[in-house]
Amino acid sequence: MRTGEMTTISGLLTRRADEEGSLMAYTFLDGSGAEPQTMTYRELDTTARHIAALLAPLRPGERVLVLTATQAGFVRRSSAASTPE
């Protein structure tokens, strides 16, 4: 078991991506009857790590405004907020 694996959101997400990466983590319905968007644990982990890397140059305590057009975007970005570089 890696350090922090079960004590942080990031650790839990990484573990799920490693062990169950192809399973659906989220299904997003927009209410219009359009095809649902899905995201696997691996996709969520990869996206969160990418966004976290973009935020890495910021100093601790700096604020970030998150604007998303969809619920799927919100989940991806909020997962990144808890993912260390």
> In the 8-state DSSP scheme, what is residue 67?
-
Instruction: Round to whole Å and give the CA distance between 37 and 27.
Output: 6
Residue 74 phi/psi, 5-degree rounding, is: -65, -45
Q: pLDDT tens digits for 28-75?
A: 887 788 888 888 999 989 988 888 898 899 998 899 887 776 666 666
CA within 13 Å, CB half, 11: 8
**Within 10 Å of residue 32's Cβ, how many Cβ atoms?**
5
Delineate the domains of the chain, giving CATH numbers in brackets: 9-81 (3.40.50.980)
- The pTM assigned to this predicted structure is 0.68
